[in-house]
Each structure stands twice: as structure tokens, then as C-alpha cells.
Chain A
Amino acid sequence: MTGSLAERGIAVEQVVVYGLLTALGLGALVMALGFGFFLEESRVGPGLVPGVVGGLIALTAGWELIATLRGKRTPHDRGLAEIVAATASDAPPAGASSERTDSGGVPSGEGAMVSPDDGPMEFPGADAGPGLDDVDIFGRTPQERGRQLVIVFAALVVACLLVPLLGFLVSFFILSLFISAVVERRGWFPSLVVSFLAVAAVYGVFVGFLGVPLPTGLIGIGG
């Protein structure tokens, strides 16, 4: 495997996630032992399901962890996009189907016998967007996009923390404005208009129509 930067990044994330899941499973198992697996007359007790489930999580996650550490798994090799590529490669290669096969990067003979085991709501990201290493249409590199992701999530947390102070509507107006104007670098004026309309719509639907009392904060706007 010629591991690109992004692929190696994913492998590291996999190790961390499987490691955490293994720990979670073990933790659940240990705690469940304290709840008691069986009641009198060997009836199912409060600890049985979490205990067994926790144990199985530890086993499967541990298995995946070891497999990943040994470099057995290549990510994104049998997802939805590749099945499409496999189906398409049966057809005469033309237009979109050949583009697809490229992005899939799977030997077509190999892919053809994969059973179509896709998730009901899984979105073929590799198909729709640029590859992990590519620059998107706004010329943003993966590093920039990763930074954007962190900024947006941090902004979400900050906005939620500000709710008791500023109220729901004000803090989410600021959030929306911040994301559109600063993170996405849209114009200030359209961002203001869109954010205002969005917050107004939320107010109309949730407060006006559904009668949900939104927290108003210290300022007392909305609600």
C-alpha cells in the first residue's frame, strides 16, 4: 500500500477509535460485573446485557485494533462507491462510469464479486466530493478543511455555552453569521441577511407555531 498522508491519518484515527472502543467495552464489562449478571433462580439480571455486550465490544474492537496495527485493513476499499465502480465496470466504459472506476481505484474483477453490502443511508462521499488529498472547488486543501471543521465545532460549543448568557436566538445568530462570513468567507451583507432570516424562521416555527419557550438569556430576546 502506498500510504498517502491522508490515508495514514485515517489509519491513526482508526487505531485511536478502536482502542477507545476496546477500553469502553472492557470498562462496561467490569462495571456490569458489579451490577450482577444473574438474579436469584438464575434470572437475567441488570448486568447481563451490558456485560456480554461490553465483552463482545472489547473482543471485536480489539480484533480490529490488532488488524489495523498489523496494516491488514485498507480503508474505503469496499464501500458503496466501489460497488458502483464494480457494477459500472461490467458495462462498456464510457463517461461517468469510467470516472467512477478511477475514483474507486479497485481492480474491477475483484470488485465484481463483492456482495452489494451497502448501508441504507451511507452517503458515497468519495464519489461526491474530491478525494481526501485533493483541493476542492474553492481551492481549499485538506489541511484547511480540517481546520475549518475544528473551528466550526468549537464555534458550536461556544455558541451553546453562550446560550445562558445571550439566549438561544442571539447566540445562534452569531454562530450562523460567524460560519457564513468568517469560516466560509461569504460576503458580510448576504451572511447577515441569511442568518437573520434563518433565526427569524426558527423563531416563527418554534416559538410562534410550536410554542417552545427558548432560553432568553440575560438579555431577554426571544422566548
Chain B
Amino acid sequence: MLDNLVLGFSTALSLENLLWCFVGVLVGTVIGVLPGLGSTTGVAVLLPLTLSLEPVTGLIMLAGIYYGSQYGGTITSVLISTPGEASSVVTTLDGYQMARQGRAGAALAISAIGSFVAAIISLALLVLLAPPFAEFALSFGPPEMLAVMILGLATIISFAGDNRMLGLLMALVGLLIATVGVDPGSGTSRFTFGSIYLLGGIPFVEVMIGLFAVGEVLFQIRQGAAAPIRAGFRELMISRDDLRRSRGPILRGSFLGFLFGILPGAGSTLASFMAYGIEKRVNKRGKEFGTGAIEGVAAPEAANNAAANANFVPTLTLGIPGGATTAVLLGAFMINGIQPGPLLFDEQPTLVWGLLASFFIGNVILLVLNLPLAPVFAQILRVPYGYMYPMILLTSLVGAYSISNGMYSVWIVLIFGIIGYFMKRLDLPMAPLVLGVVLGPLFEKALVQTSAIGDGNLLIVFTRPLALVVMAIAILQLAAPSLMARLLRRRDTTRSRRSDSADSTPEDSHRG
């Protein structure tokens, strides 16, 4: 354990890695600040830039963009009530109220501190839990991997969007996109329509640049510019009392965030929403939430950062990404010829531990940057979108070109840009599609291997206890929300009926 950490820090502290870590978290913060430019877009657009770097250096930078944007997203949530990142949407509730009361400084400071504490806690957990988890996953055969992938898809379907049916539809479309090209099992070419380009399959980094960068820009054009809301911004100081009040929420948020982040398929947005909701119930100041309570900023901010880190547990140990951004990061691993999975910890110790150690360093840099400089970052918002988006488009297209050195990639980006626009416009969730595209080839490989083990009988999945348990969880996950909603609805109507018929009637309280 200790020598692993030493190895990690000696890798991460090399001058080059330190520099790129700094670049990553800085760019991440800026990307987080910009509304409409999320961490997924940022990682997808900048992925081509890292191709010429050492794999570990490139991944350190890309991961820095990911968790850096969690810090950046907070800044605009607090100052102008416009979340730069989906995971900081909840922060607008209390953060913006605090800003209106002239306490923006305290809100930004507590979210930076909360994020930092959460990052350190979750990293310690990650360092402790990931290796035994990887060890355990070594015993996974193809049927277990198949079950885990289904679990990942089920999770992302049930949490991604307003409608599980649409989530399922998008995941299926992703899987179908992944089948284009030569079949790994038999070598048959599928859906290629005689094109030599399609033989190699539809390259998914281009798909992601198209969906997240070009699609997003097109959507923003259609959506129009929002009026910025100016907030008072007086004191940067955070009082001792604020810190004392935030201690509990930060700790609870960190552990909750980690718990949600570790699920394959559940992203940091979910974690921040859950942390806010639970903190509201648990905290004795819960009633003040929504009016500028510092606890309402601390808990979700801690949770989204903890979840961002915890996302790396399934990504690194199983090769199954936790969310859309880690799916793109998984793409970065694969482009470098590295297949994350249980063997990664044994085969690439320098890479894994260097990456994990860089999270510590990156979070320290972020804390130092964010405490004094948050208002400076907010100035980026003054750049008009009319100048900004041509630059985003330009970078996306050149980046795509550089992946394959051909216009083919650029056309793929444009096609998926249009698809991405319509998906956003019609509220079709993107995360399931991305996960489908990424998992597709792995899924099919596991399926072929499973059928080989079972001599053609796929039902052997159900004879393996571990696979069976995982499958059961997956099915439960798809079914549970509607059951829960039904239960809640019943309880809710009971409650409202109770409050209607005056609280004094004693026999009513038995009903709940």
C-alpha cells in the first residue's frame, strides 16, 4: 500500500506531470465556469490534445479537467444562479440566495473547502478500496462481466433523464452504433454498406465530440442567450461559525457522494441532489434550506466532488465507466492502448497510482486557486458567446481531425453534432447512449465468451451466483423507481389527507 503511494507520488510529482495536472485543473475550472460547456464536453474536446503525451500524463490532465470543472461549476451557480455544470444545479438554491445577501464569498469558500475535504476523504477511500475491489474482480469471468455491464446500463438508464423508456432507447441506440464494423467473434462485416471507413467501426471519441461539443453549441444557439443576473459580492471571509455549521454536512455529503459515485452508471449530479435532499431532512436547520443556508451549499458540493472521485472505482477496476465523463475518459485509456479492468492495477501500477496521486495534488492546487481567485474566474463570463462558440467549434473539428488525420472524423463529428442537437432538444438522455457505445464491443465480447463457456447456452449466467446477484440488482434498479414512486404517492396522499383533517385526530397518525 505504502510503496504504491510512494510510486504514485513520485510519478505525479515529476515536473511534466505536475505541469499538466495544473493545466488540467485550470482548464477544468474555466470549463466549469462556462455555462453549456460541461466536463464531458471539455474532456472530449481536449482528448486529442493529449494523444502525443505519455499516457499517464494525458490521463492526469484529462482527469484534472473532470474534477476541476466540479469546482468551476460552483462559481457561476453562486454568482449568477446559472450552473456551469449539471452537478452544481442544486448549489444555486442556497448559494445564489447567499450571494444575494452579500455572502457570495462565504458560499464560494465553503464550497471550495467542502469540495477539498470531500476529495481527500473520497481519495483515501478510493486508495483503500480500489485494489481489493480489483483483486475481487479478478475472479469475474465473462458471465459476471456481462452482468456488471448490464448493471451499469440499468443504473444509467434509471438515473439519466425524465423517462426510463427513453433512457433504454438511447442505450440501445448506443449498442447498435457500437455493432457497426467487423464483428469481433466471426469477422463478418456489419452495417458497413461497402464503406472501408465503416469497417473499423464508428470511432467513439468523434461521436462524443459531436454529441457534447457541436450538439451543445447548436443547442445553445437555438436556446438563445440568457440575461446575466448580477449578485452582490462583498466579503470573501468565511466566519468560524460557518465552518462549524458546515462540518457535519461536508462529512455526510462526502460519504453519500462516494456511495453514489461508486455505482456504475450513477453520476455526480445524482449524488449532489441526493445529498441536498438528505441533508435537508437530517439537518436541524433543514427548514432554512433554500433561503441561503450554508449547509445547503456545503453538502451537495462535497457530494459532487466525492462522487467524481468515486466514479473512478468502477472505471479503473471493472472498465465500466461511472458516468458520461468517465466514459469519455475510458475512451482516452483505450486510445492509448490501455484496457482498464481488474488487471490494470497489476499491469500498470505506475499509471494507476500516478493518476490517483495526481488527484491529491490537483485538489490542493484547486483549493489554492479557488479560495482567492473565484471572482477572477467569474470574469470569463464576460466573453460574449458569439465569440466563444466559433472557437469551441473550431477546436472540436481540428481535434477530431487530429485523431485520425482525416476528414472522415470531422464528418462523423458533424453528423453526431446534429444528432446531439436533436437529443438535447427532445430531452433524450445522452449518458445511456454514450455508455452503450463504449460498452457495446465489450458487451458483445463477453456475450460471445459466455456462450462459448456454456456451449451455446447463455442461461449459464443464471447458474453463477455472483452474476445472478448482480443481475438481480440491475433488474431491481429498473423496477424500483416506479415502485418507490407509487409507494411515495400513496404516502403523500395519506399525509395530505391527514393534514386536511386537522392534526388533532389521533387515529390518523397510525395510518402513515
Contact = CB atoms under 8 A, between A and B. Distances in A.
Partners in one complex: yes
Interface of A: 10, 13-14, 17, 21, 24-25, 28, 31-32, 35-36, 38-39, 41-50, 53-54, 56-57, 60-61, 63-64, 75-80, 83-84, 87-88, 90-92, 94-97, 109, 112-125, 127-130, 134-138, 140, 142, 145-146, 148-149, 152-153, 156-157, 160, 163-164, 168, 172, 175-176, 179-180, 183-186, 190-191, 194-195, 198-199, 202, 205-206, 209-215
Given A14-B426, A186-B384, A212-B405, A123 B35 contact: yes
Given A64-B166, A121-B431, A124-B83, 17 more contacts: A31-B190, A36-B188, A42-B451, A42-B456, A44-B450, A45-B186, A53-B179, A91-B93, A113-B488, A115-B485, A121-B39, A146-B222, A149-B222, A156-B214, A179-B386, A209-B52, A212-B402
B323 interface: yes
B81 A118 contact: no
Interface in B80-113: 81-83, 86-87, 89-90, 92-93, 96-97, 100
B160 to A, nearest CB: 4
B270 A120 contact: yes
Contacts of B173: 21, 24, 57
B301 interface: no
Nearest to B276: A87
Contacts of A49: 175, 179, 440, 443-444, 447
Contacts of B492: 109, 112-113
Contact of A84 (B93, B156, B428): B93
Contacts of B185: 39, 44-46
Interface of A is mostly: helix
B238 to A, nearest CB: 22
Interface string B374-407: 0000000000101101110111011101100101
28 contacts: A10-B426, A35-B183, A35-B188, A43-B451, A44-B451, A46-B186, A54-B176, A79-B162, A94-B290, A96-B92, A96-B97, A97-B97, A113-B488, A115-B481, A117-B481, A118-B159, A121-B86, A122-B430, A123-B36, A123-B216, A136-B226, A156-B214, A156-B414, A160-B411, A184-B387, A186-B384, A212-B402, A214-B398
Contacts of A127: 82-83, 89
B273 interface: yes
A53 B448 contact: no
B485 A46 contact: no
Given A120-B267, A212-B405, A129 B165 contact: no
Q: Size class of B's contact patch?
A: 35 or more
Interface in B164-198: 164-166, 168-169, 172-173, 175-176, 179, 183, 185-186, 188, 190-191
B219 interface: yes
A205 to B, nearest CB: 7
Interface stretch (B131-139, B330-338, B417-425): B417-425
A78 to B, nearest CB: 4
B232 interface: no
Contacts of A14: 426
Contacts of B269: 80, 118-122
Contact of B456 (A38, A56, A195): A38
A118 B489 CA distance: 20
Contacts of B273: 83, 87, 116, 118
Contacts of B280: 90
Contacts of B118: none
Contacts of A210: 49, 51-52, 402
B274 interface: yes
Interface in B213-265: 214, 216-227
A87 B410 CA distance: 41
A24 to B, nearest CB: 8
B401 A212 contact: yes
A7 B411 CA distance: 31
A202 B179 contact: no
Contact of B390 (A117, A124, A190, A195): A195
A60 B186 contact: no
B422 A13 contact: yes
Contacts of B100: 95-96
A63 B168 CA distance: 12
B143 interface: no
Nearest to A78: B162
Contact of B427 (A36, A79, A96, A175): A79
A91 B482 CA distance: 25
Nearest to B395: A202
A168 B36 CA distance: 26
B13 to A, nearest CB: 23
B485 A120 contact: no
Given A90-B290, A172-B398, A212-B401, A117 B161 contact: yes
B394 A121 contact: no
B429 interface: yes
Interface string B318-352: 00000111000000000000000000000000000
Contacts of A134: 224
B212 interface: yes
Contact of A128 (B226, B277, B452): B226
Contacts of B268: 120
A215 B410 CA distance: 12
A168 B290 contact: no
A179 B217 CA distance: 12
Contacts of B393: 156, 175-176, 179
Interface string B442-461: 01100110111001111000
A50 B186 CA distance: 14
A164 to B, nearest CB: 8
B158 interface: yes
B484 A115 contact: yes
Given A43-B448, A109-B492, A172-B398, A163 B40 contact: no
A145 to B, nearest CB: 5
A53 B172 contact: yes
B324 A120 contact: yes
B224 A184 contact: no
B163 interface: yes
Given A53-B172, A124-B83, A160-B411, A117 B222 contact: no
A58 to B, nearest CB: 10
B38 interface: yes
B427 A75 contact: yes
A29 to B, nearest CB: 10
Nearest to A9: B425
